[in-house]
Structure 1
Amino acid sequence: MPYRSAPTILDVAAKAGVSKSLVSLVMRGSPNVSDDRRQAVLEAADELGYRPNAAAASLARQRTHLIGVMVSDFGNPFFSDMLEGIEEAALLAGYRALFNTGSRIAERETMATETLLELRTEGLILGSPRFADDLLAQLPKTVPVVTVGRDTAVPGIDVVMNDDRHGAELVVQHLTELGHRRIVHLHGLPGAGAAARRDGFVEAMESRGLEPRLAAAGFTERGGIVGAEELLRGGDLPTAIFAANDISAVGVMQTLEQAGLRVPDDISIVGYDNVAFTGLGQISLTTIDQPRHEMGTIAVDLLIERLDGTRSRSKHVTVEPALVERGSTAPPARRS
């Protein structure tokens, strides 16, 4: 079948028997067109399969109504719920969202953000960005910026954060109430939010007169595997592990079970995020819930306030975490 070029505004005008300028008025939603002519244009456009050139229209209006969204890792299910919240809120506000990622590499995140700006996005939402503050500080000079999951004092940037210190406190409270005293936190440094979780863990342990043990792991499944392997080599296993996040916790669980240890009979594990798979029967991971969908909608609301000119000062919104208890934690007395 020969290739057919997309119908143009001239094709619609010819089919409807009207001028090109009248078709343009109809496509822009102008009220200064009679109902009969509007109907004729819309029917012609529908028959031809014509779609308005959104890019050209936005250039004419000097607006694109596009929001650029860069997240550090599409592979992390934490971001999927957040992106749903962003997309829903953007559409309700009359905007569309463009998504991309830097794959947890600062240089790629910079490139991804530059691409979004080149596409004339009117504002940026950055999900747990890893690039340096000096680069972050350049962005608000061009468009409004909101970071989600990464706290920053960079002027001109709005922030949506989960209270990660409190989340870590909830983990320690839960484990110590079960009777655990030897607890290790496999932290996710230098990832966004990891420092607050680490500090919250240390403070919560020390306030209970317990020694806070720390080891590096990261926010990936591989990071959890490496962290667990390090604990196994050390020989002095804790009775409970607080993983950097849920994906890392899965890596920890796999590694311990391959070593012949049972969760939670031999060792308890707590994750962080409460992503969808943690509730599956085979995993049943105790974790900290972050209201990811809400965080996404809040980020859009903050951006729209800036774009509409209703607010100029930076705003910091903190949402509260909650413990979700499942089958991966139990009293240490159950160890054989």
Structure 2
Amino acid sequence: MPNKAKSVTIFDVAHHAGVSKSTVSLVLTHSNKVADKSKQKVLQAIEELGYVYNRDAAAMRSGRTNLVVVVIDDLTNPLMALLAKNIEQALSEAFFQAIIVSSNNSVERQTQLINNLKEYKVAAFIICPVENTCAQWLDNLTTAYPVISLMHEVAYSSAPCVLPDYTKASHLVTLQLINESPKNMLFIGDESLSAQALLSGFNSACQKHNITPEPAITCTKSTPLHAKQVFSNTLLNKPSIDAVVCANTVIAHGVLSAAPHLKNSIVSCLHIPDITEMQPRFTSANISTQELAKRSILVLQEQLQTHTAPVKTLVNVNLQIRETP
């Protein structure tokens, strides 16, 4: 056993545990490449010897810290706020420290935040990219840092992305609505980066049943009031519409307020949780923010350890059938 009068080193831990120095290093950096038996030996040796890992010194050697910047596009969105909470928890469990900031749906602010935070020698960036994010800018960032694009995929970017299966979400809710035998269906989308995938799922479900829907319309603002105005104007020209698939529950509430008679013929692709739980609740596809956070950290760890990661990781969604009172 080493002399406790001097500082315990990583070599002492390796000798005490009967493993190599590189194995101890992998355990200290929370690598998943170490067998459980070896990991337990190292952890036991650390405890018995009283070894303290100097993360600051390690950061100086590597040029990086254990800080991970999480850029959320809109923290006022309850779904994104919940996602931020779960990412922070998942990072903490993986021994990372999260810095959570909001770009407020601004490309300029998104760029400024990331440029400023580079000075802190961060380990990686997890970004919920805003609309009009430049693919080249994102790819340039990936050459210097591990980067994950979360919730949205930036077209033509090679950055790894983790996102819900939006196409499946809209496909499932549309099929559920088709079971009610509607005659004139409409899709109301938004201007999010997921809009095209949601529309694709809607169209595939309609094609499966040989249904020709009305041309899709778009809400430029994801608020109930705006959705109400948009759908009210649509009904003036298309009064025969008897079923509506909405991009999210916010739009669905606006549609319902414009056409209460369609209350049993409105579904939402994505359920957006809210503390007040707006009523009624629509049939929708539920997104697990915990699973999104978990998968993001797994992709991040793979990037840090192997410098490679899956280009796209789709997280499954589940249909939640609700009866509108």
Scaled to the shorter chain, the TM-score interval is 0.7 to 0.9
Matched, 1:163 2:141: no
- The equivalent of 2:25 in structure 1 is none
- The equivalent of 1:172 in structure 2 is 174
One-letter code aligned to 2:237: G
Contact 1:219 1:247 in 2 (8 A): no
Q: Distance in 2 between matches of 1:118 and 1:248?
A: 40
One-letter code aligned to 1:312: T
Q: Distance in 2 between matches of 1:195 and 1:218?
A: 14
Number of equivalenced pairs: 277
Please, which of 108, 123, 148 is the counterpart of residue 146 of structure 1?
148
Q: Distance in 2 between matches of 1:273 and 1:160?
A: 16
One-letter code aligned to 2:227: G
Alignment of 1:1-336 (within 5 A): 62-130=63-131, 131-152=133-154, 157-189=159-191, 191-213=192-214, 214-218=216-220, 220-221=222-223, 223-256=226-259, 261-264=260-263, 268-277=265-274, 280=277, 282-307=279-304, 309-328=305-324
Deviation at 1:118, TM superposition (A): 3.4
Deviation at 1:249, TM superposition (A): 2.1
Q: TM-score with structure 2 length normalisation?
A: 0.74
Deviation at 1:218, TM superposition (A): 4.5
Deviation at 1:85, TM superposition (A): 2.1
* Gap change, CA 1:281 and 1:157, over 3 Å in 2: closer
Contact 1:68 1:121 in 2 (8 A): yes
One-letter code aligned to 1:293: Q
Q: C-alpha deviations, 1:133-170, integer Å up to 9, x for none?
A: 12211110121111112224656521112221111111
Percent pairwise identity:
21
1:271 alignment partner, SS class: strand
* Gap change, CA 1:105 and 1:328, over 3 Å in 2: farther
Q: Displaced runs of 4+ in structure 1, greater than 6 A?
A: 54-57
* Gap change, CA 1:236 and 1:56, over 3 Å in 2: farther
Q: Distance in 2 between matches of 1:304 and 1:272?
A: 31
> CA-atom RMSD, angstroms?
3.2
- The equivalent of 1:47 in structure 2 is none
Q: Distance in 1 between matches of 2:254 and 2:176?
A: 22
Q: Which has the larger radius of gyration?
A: 1
Unaligned runs of 5+ in 2: 14-54
2:270 alignment partner, SS class: coil
Q: TM-score with structure 1 length normalisation?
A: 0.72
Q: Distance in 2 between matches of 1:161 and 1:106?
A: 20
